[in-house]
Structure 1
Amino acid sequence: MEQPVASDNAGGAARSEPPAAGPVVDLNTVLGKVVAVLFAFRAEDHGITLAELGRRTGLRKGTLHRVARDLVDARLLDRTGDGYRLSSQIFQLGMRASVERGLLEVATPFMEDLYERTHETVHLGVLDGDSVVYVAKIGGHRQAAAPSRIGGRMPLYCTGIGKALLAYSPPELAARVVAAGLGRRTPRTITAPGLLRQQLARIAETGVAFEHEESAIGITCVAAPVLDADDQPIAALSVTGPVTRFQPERHACSVKAAAAGVAATLGRRAALS
């Protein structure tokens, strides 16, 4: 998660701005301070110091120390040797979210089938704002060194799952992504809006998205969207492997079938509820 952008001003009102991903926070309130601290943690963090928390949140040291202490008492943060980390209680709360929990329950068997077919890394991702968030990942001992992490975020325009989600989303989202800039992550990242739109049109036509070393050097992937009854994206599945051994085109039908299976199962559950 990206940290909220805000400041803890001494004499005036605290600045409250929407972060790249996360809620708008008002650091004049206790809740705003708590949210700022929790959203300061990123997917790759195993623990961060109080000083780093202060840098990310803009909270004063004394204020931050009190908030962190209260969050530890509430079992939402754990103390580490030199700082803090999110507690397992946060994970348990997240798993109670009905949409993601139901999605994971349904998608996991299909992801396991994909892994058995390919023995490569299988991802499940959802749309969140202008990014893809990875909610599940299955990989073996020889999994590709992909930049994805469970709970981590990646751009829509340069990932297989992201492009699969983007192709089936309202066109306003693609326009917003293009307007924000298509930053180059590798030499093969698509940075031309026209080329991206051509790819998205092709994905919408075929139901399959590909990535060839666009988010990270050395990896390639194939992805397909999980669609609801109105053909809106609920999530997307992908299989990722190293370019030295993985041929994503060979597994396009399997990924597409798995995504359709997840969608059909979710649809049956919804009809019975």
Structure 2
Amino acid sequence: MVRAAGKEPGGTQSIERALSLLDAFTEEHPERRVSELVQLTGLGQSTVSRLVGALEALGFLAHDPRSGLYRIGRRTISLSSLALNQSAVFRQSRQVAQNLAAELGLGTNVAERLDDRLFYLCHFEGRQAPRNFTMVGRGGPLHATGLGKALLSDSDPDEVIELVGKTLPGFTPKTLTRSADLLKALEEVRSRGYATEIEELAFGRACVAAPIRDQTSRVVAAISVSGPLSAIDLGRRQDELGTLVIEHADQISTALGYNSVSLGAARV
């Protein structure tokens, strides 16, 4: 349940209440009735009606008069675009990811880590991996995705366990549900430079991902290619795709200021 924050000094209570209403809209529930928002936030009917009216007037919510349902308004699109364009990873990876999707005909994604989940920054469809929705702005589990494993690849074991726990949620019979198995998979990622995921998050799909580093050599993002098993064909193409994602990850890393040669020399 989404609960509104209690009263705070400085006149922030109304802002927090309004944001709690926006937070009630999710991928699973993109449309809500006022009665649902009342139940989810614990706010009074009159308070919710007043705040919903203000958010609609400002363009942050849109209302369908026939169904009575509210949805997120278009004003949020301009804010999300502003946030994306301020991201150095997004700016440096967008064209690289788009080119890779066009070259392979597979889906291409770029993601960062947001706390204990990944957050999609870029998504481009390939002709062999179409989607009827965008992945941008969505989240995902770290342990059950190639992107997540790439993002965790430079974390020490204690940090990994602190983030994901010792027992991990399963999505398919192939999901890694023990932290020991995940740590072993991360060793393989570090050894070969890329991560794989085969039907660990969803049946019939696979991906290959590589970490992206910044000028400090820290992993700050990851790029992947993904698609149906028949299109990605890892049994035959895994090394080829692994090499490609590493090359494109390195291209983005270099644009972010990463220099493996100078960093290696500095350690000698």
1:150 corresponds in structure 2 to 136
Are 1:6 and 2:7 matched, yes or no?
no
1:24 corresponds in structure 2 to none
The one of 244, 253, 261 equivalent to 1:254 is 244
The alignment's C-alpha RMSD in Å is 2.7
Are 1:33 and 2:30 matched, yes or no?
no
Question: For structure 1, which segment, 206-215 or 86-95, has the greater mean C-alpha deviation from structure 2 after superposition?
Answer: 86-95
Q: Report the residue type matching 1:231 in the other structure.
A: S
1:264 corresponds in structure 2 to 254
Q: CA deviation at 1:255?
A: 0.8
**Residue identity (%):** 26
2:120 corresponds in structure 1 to 134
Q: CA deviation at 1:46?
A: 4.2
Question: For structure 1, which segment, 39-48 or 219-228, has the greater mean C-alpha deviation from structure 2 after superposition?
Answer: 39-48
The one of 47, 50, 56 equivalent to 1:66 is 50
CA distance in 2, matches of 1:33, 1:104: 31
- Whether the 8 Å contact between 2:2 and 2:23 is mirrored in structure 1 is no
- Whether the 8 Å contact between 1:77 and 1:87 is mirrored in structure 2 is yes
- Whether the 8 Å contact between 1:77 and 1:84 is mirrored in structure 2 is yes
The one of 96, 106, 109 equivalent to 1:123 is 109
Q: CA deviation at 1:57?
A: 2.6
Q: Report the residue type matching 1:223 in the other structure.
A: A
CA distance in 1, matches of 2:134, 2:193: 22
CA distance in 1, matches of 2:121, 2:213: 17
CA distance in 2, matches of 1:146, 1:225: 27
Q: CA deviation at 1:172?
A: 4.5
Secondary structure of the 1:267 match is coil
Give ranges in structure 1 of 5+ residues lacking alignment.
Answer: 17-27, 269-273
Q: Report the residue type matching 1:42 in the other structure.
A: T
Q: CA deviation at 1:166?
A: 1.3
Q: CA deviation at 1:37?
A: 1.3
- Note closer, same or farther for the CA distance 1:257–1:55 as it changes in structure 2 (3 Å cut): farther
TM-score where L is the length of structure 1? 0.81
1:56-109 alpha-carbon deviations (Å, 9 max, x no partner): 333332221111111112221122342222222212112222675433232122
CA distance in 1, matches of 2:204, 2:135: 17
Aligned residues: 249
CA distance in 2, matches of 1:145, 1:86: 21
Give ranges in structure 2 of 5+ residues lacking alignment.
Answer: 259-268
